[in-house]
Amino acid sequence: MATALLLALLAVVLPASPAAAHDGCLEVTVVVDFGVLAADPATGCAVDPANGLDALAQAGFSVTEVASIRGMVCRIDELPESSCGGAPPAKEYWSYWRADAESDEWSYSPVGGGDARPDTGDVEGWAFGDGSTPPALTPAKAAASTEGRGPGADEETSFTWVIAAAALVVIAGLVVWRLRRDRRA
């Protein structure tokens, strides 16, 4: 009886597989293509972001806005090295792109990151350059392979779950010991 109770409790407490085994982002995927500033695009995941800038920050990227223009991105992860007082040159700025997770094509966003409202399943893209080229990763590929940043990026079975499982084992052992002792008496 105690063993069955213990197994039932462990089945509820322990996840079937570690969260790190997920395939892609289950919320909002964010892609940053640094263009000439860095070698490869980076991806991350945001959970229920308030807007596109919040998604970028939640996905693990540092964001510096242009001081004189609310919502305009000056730097992502401190790139490019520039002053953020005024608007960047038209040939060197962070363009903002959007898509859904199944899409193979990006759409240039008609609104800035501060005004966009990403939903679950959306893919947000940022690309450094003249604004004519979207991120190098397709939205579908980015959504399927999100890794390394943001909520859930490095999730594994939590130590809290391990401690809870160990406590349940101790409690079940005490119950079994008590039942056996009571039967002998």
* CATH top-level class of 22-144: mainly beta
CA-to-CA distance for 139 and 148, rounded, in angstroms? 17
List the one residue out of 27, 34, 26, 29 whose CA is nearest residue 44: 29
Can the peptide bond before residue 80 be classed as cis, meaning omega within 30 degrees of 0?
Answer: yes
Residue 80's SS3 state is coil
Exposed/middle/buried for 3, CB within 10 Å: 0-12, 13-18, 19+?
exposed
CB-based contact 152:22 (threshold 8 Å): yes
Question: Greater confidence, 74 or 158?
Answer: 74
CA separation, residue 180 to residues 6, 68, 104, 127, 175 (Å): 16, 75, 64, 67, 9
pTM of the model: 0.68
pLDDT per position as a tens digit, 39-69? 899 999 999 999 999 999 999 999 999 998 8
The answer, yes or no, to whether residue 132 has pLDDT greater than 60, is yes
The answer, yes or no, to whether residue 87 has pLDDT greater than 70, is yes
Mean pLDDT for 3-23 is 42
CA-to-CA distance for 74 and 90, rounded, in angstroms? 12
Sorted by where each begins, the domain ranges of the chain are 2-18+158-184, 22-144
Q: What is the distance of C-alpha 109 from the center of its chain? A: 21
Concatenated DSSP letters of 90-101: TTSEEEEEEEET
φ, ψ of residue 30 in degrees (nearest 5): -120, 130
What's the pLDDT score for residue 175?
Answer: 80
